[in-house]
Amino acid sequence: MSLAAQAIARDTFPGLPRPTQRVVITIAADRRRFRDLVGESAPDWGSAVAFPEARRVVLQGQGAGADAGDPTEVLRHELAHLALHEVLGNLAPRWFDEGYASFAAGEWGRQDVLATNIALALGGMPTLEELDDSFGGGATAAKSAYALAYSAVAELANIDGSRGLHLFFTYWRESGKLEGAMRRAFGMTVPDFEKRWRQRTRRQYGALALVSNVALAGLLLLFVLTPFYLSRRRRDRRRLEKMRDADAAAEQAEASAIDDLVGGP
**Tens digits of per-residue pLDDT, 210-244?**
444 444 445 455 566 667 666 777 777 788 777 77
Residues 29 and 117 in one domain: no
Residues 148 and 193 in one domain: yes
Domain carrying residue 19? 1-90
Q: Is 63 helix (H, G, I), strand (E, B) or coil?
A: coil
- CA distances 145 to 37, 95, 150, Å, are 25, 8, 8
pLDDT in tens, 180-196: 999 999 999 999 999 99
Tally of structural domains, the chain: 2
Mean local confidence (pLDDT), 77-81: 96
Pure H helices in 31-165: 31-38, 71-88, 94-104, 110-115, 118-121, 128-134, 139-159
Residue 177 lies in a domain: yes
- Higher pLDDT pick, 82 / 109: 82
**For residues 66-81, average pLDDT:** 89
Query: Rounded mean pLDDT of the chain?
Result: 82
pLDDT-derived band at 139, boundaries 50, 70, 90: confident
Q: How many whole angstroms separate alpha carbon 133 and alpha carbon 127?
A: 10
pLDDT, tens digit (0-9, with 9 covering 90-100), for 94-112: 999 999 999 999 887 766 6
